[in-house]
């Protein structure tokens, strides 16, 4: 009995090699790159000099992260945390503290009062003004700054005294008056890093003060969680 012939199996078709995605090159503004390179050199030079050029280092770092758009992007860093860590070896929280002190204090004042006390003094001034110090009045007269109810000169006050006076000011700060303000305050109160944030709604315009630069991601999420439009 003849046997049935087996139909030969077809060899599987060869797959075409997957195409590699083309590299996407984003053009860099030459003027921004030049500005970044100048500031980066200032940072490197200041690091080489050590504590003698602390102010110059942090002023340059501040100029990079506070530029619009941030200059660390043209330096190849995806965010401020990566920039601070890779270039200066500092975490974002401490870095922004140093940037703020370098912006408002002179090298002589940094030596006289110390970085921690100056940072506390700036927070005290902001609590008194109810607004961040990114706006006038400038410059800050640290030698004439008096702290607390007893009006102690900053020179004679301890950092702990300045922080305690700031907390007292926060207790007496104006409470939210509108539904939107109360809703925002309730959301911020759930986040330890955002408890000091103040929101003001006037004429349909929302403004915030006291937002920690190192907690911007948490702030953005909190703002998105607020049920706005209550009035």
Q: Mean pLDDT in each 10-residue stretch from start to end of the chain (231 residues)? A: 55 56 57 94 93 92 91 92 95 92 93 95 85 64 94 95 89 70 83 77 79 80 83 58
- Identify the DSSP state of 66: S
Q: Which two tokens stand for residue 49?
A: 């000099």
Long-range CB contact pairs, 194-198, < 8 A, 24+: 194/218, 194/219, 194/222, 196/170, 198/130, 198/173
Domain limits for position 142 = 113-173
Specify whether 83 is located in the same domain as 138. no
Specify whether 167 is located in the same domain as 149. yes
Please give the angle made by the CA atoms of 129, 156 and 100, to the nearest 5 degrees: 45
Residue 23 confidence (pLDDT): 45
Cα–Cα distance for residue pair 207/191, rounded to 1 Å? 19
Helix axes 115-129, 159-171, angle to 10 degrees: 20
Is 12 among the domain residues?
Answer: no
Pick from 105, 111, 110: nearest CA to 133:
105
Residue 28 confidence (pLDDT): 67
Q: How many domains does the chain have?
A: 3
Residue 157 confidence (pLDDT): 95
Residue 50 confidence (pLDDT): 82
């Amino acid at each position: 009995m003849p046997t049935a012939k087996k139909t030969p199996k077809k060899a599987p078709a060869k797959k075409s090699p997957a195409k590699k995605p083309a590299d996407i090159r984003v053009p860099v503004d030459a003027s921004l790159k030049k500005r970044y390179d100048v500031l980066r050199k200032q940072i490197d030079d200041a690091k080489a000099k050590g504590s003698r050029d602390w102010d110059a280092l942090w002023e340059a770092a501040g100029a990079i992260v506070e530029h619009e758009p941030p200059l660390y992007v043209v330096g190849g860093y995806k965010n401020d945390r990566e920039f601070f860590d890779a270039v200066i070896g500092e975490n974002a929280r401490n870095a922004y503290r140093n940037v703020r002190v370098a912006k408002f204090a002179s090298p002589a004042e940094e030596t006289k009062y110390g970085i921690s006390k100056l940072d506390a003094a700036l927070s005290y001034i902001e609590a008194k003004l109810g607004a961040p110090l990114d706006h006038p009045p400038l410059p800050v007269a640290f030698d004439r700054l008096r702290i607390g109810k007893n009006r102690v000169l900053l020179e004679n006050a301890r950092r702990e005294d300045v922080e305690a006076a700031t907390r007292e000011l926060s207790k007496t700060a104006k409470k939210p008056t509108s539904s939107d303000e109360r809703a925002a305050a309730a959301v911020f109160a759930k986040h330890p890093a955002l408890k000091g944030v103040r929101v003001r709604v006037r004429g349909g315009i929302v403004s915030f003060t006291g937002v920690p630069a190192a907690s911007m991601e948490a702030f953005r999420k909190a703002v998105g969680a607020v049920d706005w439009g209550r009035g």
